[in-house]
Structure 1
């Protein structure tokens, strides 16, 4: 037997040593149980191991340094939702075949080791170290040494410094989650060059075969392909959600809860494949990009709790896929744009704490703008002209009729004229 899958049960206690004796395991999955203890030492004997999934258990302690040498074939190391701690051993990044590294929701600390960037892990597709205690700056070498990276999740740590512009060099990067850190500076303008996010795929998507990493495993003497379903936790529509089968369809940024400043780059509107954009709870200023409506696939847009000003661009009404919108707690003003999809957002809190905004769904009515005022004045002038013509005609008619009615000589003269005109007509007959 080359694979062992005990996941999604209620097993508890320490991992029995006998589970691996005499077995050349290539896949060991123990996720979603209640196993406890330190990192299982029996894994050191599994030199052919390709997939190791210990997620959602109660393992604790440091990650052993022997893992990089003892299991050289490892392609998936998934340890989320445990109690592991300590710094990452440099030996871990001797795993040159590693494609998925998921250490999220633990207590790891320290900086991202430089050893990861020494050309050893250049096959990495998913790097998820979110919800830990990592610190320091985000390494610039990620952009040059991890060319196949698709998922970069660093949220809820203690990272500081600026967002490296070198991340825009990653041609396959589709998800950037750096929320809830202490990042400063501006959003790199060059993020608009992320090629994997500039595509505008069809509305109805079928997951591509390569949406999950595939691994070759010997089974019954034959080389077969096994898939490890990629999964990632994303703060989506107000709560943490796990995306697994549909991870290949998730494209976007979550840079919320940092200390980012300056304006939102207009270049982000070139990323027509974006499905979510969360820039909330920063210190961003300036206006909302005028071409925000070009992100036609956008389903989630949160720009709340910043220092944004100006009007809401009318193009936002083009976001027909939009399911969640939050522009509250800024300095926006003017009339809220209308549109088919925008009319479905009936909750006033979406635009709350922007005293200058008016229109549906807010209760305060908009005053006419300069253009609207000019149009109204033109309509009033035209209406006044018509009233003047009508009044002039009525007034002239009554002057003429009143003169004939009240002045007897004029009335007799007019009647004699009409009578004489009638006799001339009869004479000509």
Structure 2
């Protein structure tokens, strides 16, 4: 029967075979099939995807047939991705308590994710719901999925806040992708408790507030020697995968997913400063904070992220100088700080010499130096650090003047309070006055005598 399912080429024939499998659940449990016509990628390269006995291309099936899968109680791997499936998921979907891998991405499913029974035993390790029309709040059915490592619900219509319980109720999460939804509110700091988290993608939402300082404690991003072991599921040769924006291109990673570490919070409404604590994440390979309202400056120790390959801080409100430590990023190949308020000389260095596209520095009216050939530093205002140095010298001068004036008035005030000092001072002044008057009188006599002799 499995061979017949592999060779089916029309939706009606496949549906007929599926119904035959459903009539004999003992033969259908724990089965998955390979569709050779399904194009996928592995690290940006073509890969092979396993499916669950359903047509994976040009299918016109609706989710009405989805309820039939509820009878496959021992099904472990289910891949219905890249079809034309529509409608809502049936309520009995979560009765598949042996299900480890679920991929419903790139269909036209809609509605809210159905809730599970209180006695639901979640065995899911990987869930892909991206590229549909799902709505509602973050799926509460995932609460308590202790084995869930990959969750991708991007490109849907989920709304509301990101629940803090993710940090404690889904402790095994390694990959969390919520991009291109309608999530609002602040990013919960509880996400920093996900000690296995290696990829966090919340781009293109409406998140507000600050970037949590606690993100500096993300263990798998902080310690590059801790490498996640994402791979096959339950001993099978079925590889997990994730779709991300990598160096400006949308790619699908599979075999090298365990080496992927990064944060993407671009396209939100985040404000305030970039936490210095993010520079503790020495395992980061990409960091994208573009298209927000972040202010202050670029963290001074940004150069400590020595594995960083892609850094995008464009379209914010950052000010100050570019930290010289950025020249230490020897692996940096994608860099963008355009559309900010940065000033000063662009740092030079071995790796910075290769980032010679002027557009990555554009619309920073205070920046100067190469590769901005038209803006030499001699004709540009000083960087904020240099201006701060001048300010320090001015304050030092003011402090000295204030000290002299203050000391003079202390001494002058003591003359009025101590009688002996006052008498001695006045006596000295009188003596000086007498000596001056004596010398002046002699000069006056000499001048008078000279004038008299002239008229004789």
Q: The TM-score by the shorter chain falls in which range?
A: 0.7 to 0.9
Task: Kindly indicate whether residue 215 of structure 2 is the aligned counterpart of residue 211 of structure 1.
Answer: no
More strand by share: 1
Contact 2:301 2:325 in 1 (8 A): yes
Alignment match, 1:218: none
1:176 is matched with which residue? 200
Once the two structures are superposed, the pairs formed by residues 240-319 of structure 1 within 5 Å of their partners are 240-319=250-329
| Separation of aligned partners in 1, 2:295 and 2:6 | 51
The yes-or-no answer on 1:49 pairing with 2:68 is no
**Aligned-pair CA distance for 1:11:** 5.3
The whole-number CA distance in structure 1 between the counterparts of 2:4 and 2:142 is 29
Q: Distance in 1 between matches of 2:4 and 2:372?
A: 58
1:75 corresponds, among 88, 100, 114, to: 100
> 8 Å contact 2:174–2:198 — kept in the other structure?
yes
1: CA distance between counterparts of 2:29 and 2:201?
Answer: 34
Whether 1:142 and 2:141 are equivalent positions in the alignment is no
Rounded to whole Å, the distance in 2 between the matches of 1:76 and 1:111 is: 22
Unaligned segments of structure 2, at least 5 residues: 33-50, 390-456
Q: Does 1:27 align with 2:31?
A: yes
How far is 1:13 from its partner? 5.8
Alignment-derived partner of residue 18 in structure 1: 17
Alignment partner of 1:26: what SS?
coil
2:358 aligns with 348
Q: CA deviation at 1:92?
A: 8.1
Q: Closer, same or farther in 2 for the Cα pair 1:31/1:211, shift >3 Å? A: farther
SS at match of 1:90: coil
What is the CA-CA distance between 1:95 and the residue it aligns to?
4.7
Aligned mate of 2:179, from 155, 163, 168:
155
**Secondary structure of the residue that 1:171 maps to in structure 2?**
coil
How many angstroms apart in 2 are the aligned matches of 1:2 and 1:180? 42
Structure 2 Cα separation of the partners of residues 235 and 84 of structure 1 = 23
Alignment root-mean-square deviation, CA:
2.6
Counterpart secondary structure, 1:27: coil
- What is the deviation of 1:213? 4.6
Structure 1: 5+ residue stretches without partners? 216-224, 375-429
Aligned to 1:235: 245
Aligned residues: 356
In structure 2, what is the Cα distance between the partners aligned to 1:92 and 1:78? 21
Match of 1:423 in 2: none
Contact preservation (8 Å) 2:11, 2:61 = no
Q: Distance in 2 between matches of 1:5 and 1:321?
A: 47
The alpha carbon displacement at 1:303 in A equals 0.1
2:146 corresponds in structure 1 to: 122
C-alpha change, 1:299 and 1:50, in structure 2 (3 Å) is same
TM-score (norm 2): 0.73
The whole-number CA distance in structure 2 between the counterparts of 1:31 and 1:196 is: 38
2:443 match: none
CA contact (8 A) 1:17 1:42 kept: no
Shift of 1:201: 3.9
Name the counterpart of 1:425. none
Q: Is the 8 A contact 2:343 2:367 kept in 1?
A: yes
For 2:87, the equivalent position in structure 1 comes to: 61
Alpha carbons of 1:5 and 1:133: their partners in 2 closer, same or farther (altered >3 Å)?
farther
Q: Secondary structure at the match of 1:91?
A: coil
2:209 aligned with 1:185: yes
Match of 1:89 among 75, 90, 114: 114
Instruction: Output the CA distance in 1 between the equivalents of 2:4 and 2:259.
Output: 30
How far did 1:17 drift? Answer: 3.3
Separation in structure 2 between the aligned mates of residue 327 and residue 31 of structure 1, nearest angstrom: 45
What SS class does the counterpart of residue 17 from structure 1 fall into?
helix
Checking the alignment, whether the CA contact within 8 Å between 1:15 and 1:36 is kept in structure 2 is no
More helix by share: 2
* Equivalent residue, structure 2, for 1:362: 372
Displacement, 1:189? Answer: 0.3
Return the alpha-carbon distance in structure 2 between the equivalents of residues 80 and 323 of structure 1.
31
Aligned partners of 1:13 and 1:34 also within 8 Å: no
